[in-house]
Structure 1
Amino acid sequence: SRKCRYRVSTLCRGVGLDLNVRDEKIVPGAIGICRVKNPKADIALDISANDGLGIFADNQFDYLFDSHQLGDFTCTEAILKEWWRVIKPGGFLILYEQDKDYYPLVDTPGADPLRRKDLFWEDAWSVLEAVGNAELFSKSRHNDSNEYSWQLVARKKFAATTNPIEELKDGNTDGMVCFPRVKKADKEALVIRYGALGDTLWVTPVLSQLKKDGYFVVMNTTTKGAEVLKHNPNIDEFIIHTRHEDIPYDELEYYWNMMGRHFERVVNLTKSCEGHLIKVEGSRESRWSKEMRHAECNYNFQDRQMELAGYPDIKGCIPELHFSEIEEALADTFVNAHKEKFTIVWSLSGSGFHKTYPWAEYIAGEIMQQFNDIEIITVGDDSCKLLEWQNPQTINKCGVYTIRQSFLLTKYADLVIGADTGLLNAASCFDTPKIVFLSTNTVENL
């Protein structure tokens, strides 16, 4: 699994099966199956029969992964049809199997004693193609770095009557990419950024500059990062990870290096600021003297991003947010409904414990007591509901508004207040007045 994980992990979303768990699953969230009892697997199940997955109903899983097991079964056609049966329309069958050109043939020295058939990827594809609802998503052969396998990815087609609108859109917007990836342009740049919401916004001037330099820009990020960057015209393609743990932390460098081989330029900005310029309370560096912290860390986050991306002479960039016409129309409706009030959007917390201002309720109470025409909208995730207060002049929207709805409000509010969170970074995209409660960051950083 580890050998091919970087190539297929973005396809392993939702609920899926790993049919041959040994030392580890293809991704931690997969339901692991093994033909014998294995503490790494979730289910011990003999799947060698033609109805080996009979405990599962049709169209149950978003993906099904098998590694070096298909050749153990004598009836390839029946086995593949059974595996295909349990995959949802739009889901993936991912096969990573021994290539008979690179691996000892059946009953020869060095061959797996359980193996019954020597297969090429074409043998598997011919079965799936005959079923009639399979799309060839990716195929490749691998004979380096201790690999001796072929890789085949097939996607189950939607019926014509149920084909969702998303399937009709041009380009790749879902972030599910399989490597080796088909190049879209002669000059491609891969930008990598995992992190919190504000961290993702800092990348946007880099994307703009790469696009000006003529690159086809591919963005590798998380689901939340993609939500922040949605509708950004400087991104041509996404590679999205839905779960941080899909690629183990100790494999990230390898993963990034393997991905980067397919691009003319790679800009990796993960932990570019929070790993070097931010010294969170509790860390050893947080006990440095103020003078030492400032000497080491007092750099503007946005300028540092540009420097690391290869643009050291470009200073003072402003991050960018882009919204659809529908989003703007809904925001306009909201603004018109509240135009008689001075509207304050208040961010109650951010991604870390140090981004919660403990006296927010008391300060808000004083403000509302002094000014009757003020209206405060509290925003944040579900956990921020614990920090909300009840007042006729306050509209509680923590856990109600989406990330993008909250970000869009910062464009139209009269004032934005909060710690140095993603929401305040969003407000920095616009001329909206803002009050920032500094935590670990300095004025120079922001």
Structure 2
Amino acid sequence: MLLLKKILRRFKRILGITGATRISETSKVREQLLQYCVGDGLDLGYGGDPISESAICMDLPKKYAAYQSHPQHLHGDARDLHWFRDDVLDYVYSSHVLEDFEDTESVLKEWLRVVRPGGSVVLFLPDEQTYRKHCMSLGKPPNEHHIHEFFGPKYLWEIVEKLENAEVIHEAFPIGIYSFEMVIKKT
């Protein structure tokens, strides 16, 4: 068995196949959420697997995760989309990123800023309490980057309800073991 693994690694190296073999969170919901990601859009924290082949792909200078080898167009922090004027994109998509920020509301406002009226912020996120229970059942620690103990659909709804230019047009929970979908339309 060890010899077979060595041969497989060498074969992958010869063919230039690199990266993780795990599947991305986006791949779990692409079929359901792609309908909201039409036109000119941005995939934040794409990890090598963008929601759409035409999405502008942005991640940290050193990617947090790497599932595939799709090119990265922008390197930066999702709290500051300075590359874009107001109201220029049809959508911003993000999977399992928003929960990593202390000031969720200001980050969401920044993402909405670059979306045209009628466009959407399309999110796939963990429900933190469900996620922590899942981690506990596996005997693994939860992701240390998750900031908010009670991050989930209710937490996000409370933020969106305070915004004057946004409304939730789609929500689904649970998706998979511990995640939820939310699509926020800019009005």
Query: Which bin holds the TM-score, normalised by the shorter protein?
Result: 0.7 to 0.9
Greater strand share, structure number: 2
Deviations along 1:294-345, one digit per CA (max 9) or x if unpaired, are: xxxxxxxxxxxxxxxxxxxxxxxxxxxxxxxxxxxxxxxxxxxxxxxxxxxx
Return the letter of the residue paired with 1:16: G
Offset from partner CA, 1:105-144 (integer Å, 9 cap, x none) = 7x97431122212311222222222111222211111253
Residue 42 of structure 1 aligns with which residue? 73
Instruction: Provide the secondary structure at the position in 1 that maps to 2:132.
Output: coil
1:148 corresponds to which residue?
Answer: 178
Q: What residue number does 2:58 align with?
A: 33
1: CA distance between counterparts of 2:157 and 2:102? Answer: 16
Determine helix, strand or coil for the equivalent of 1:95: strand
| Contiguous gaps of at least 5 residues in structure 2 | 1-25, 64-68
Match of residue 38 from structure 2 = 13
Which of 86, 89, 98 aligns to 1:70? It is: 98
After TM superposition, the structure 1 = structure 2 runs for residues 114-193 of structure 1, keeping only pairs within 5 Å, are: 114-118=145-149, 119-144=151-176, 147-157=177-187
Matches within 5 A, 1:228-377: none
Amino acid at match of 2:29: C
Number of residues paired by the alignment?
A: 151
Q: Using a 3 Å threshold, how does the CA distance of structure 1 residues 120 and 90 change in structure 2: closer, same or farther?
A: same
8 Å Cα contact 1:81-1:128 kept in structure 2: no
1:89 equivalent among 117, 129, 135: 117
**1:174 corresponds to which residue?**
none
- Give the root-mean-square deviation of aligned CA atoms: 2.0
**One-letter code aligned to 1:9:** L
Q: Which runs of 5+ in 1 are unaligned?
A: 158-446
How many angstroms apart in 2 are the aligned matches of 1:60 and 1:129? 23
Distance 1:61 1:110 in 2: 37
- How far apart are the structure 1 equivalents of 2:115 and 2:57? 15
Report the counterpart of residue 57 of structure 1 in structure 2: 85
Q: Percent identity?
A: 30
Kindly indicate whether structure 1 or structure 2 has the higher relative contact order, using CA contacts under 8 Å at least 6 residues apart.
Answer: 2
4+ long deviations beyond 4 Å: none
The letter of the residue matching 2:166 is A
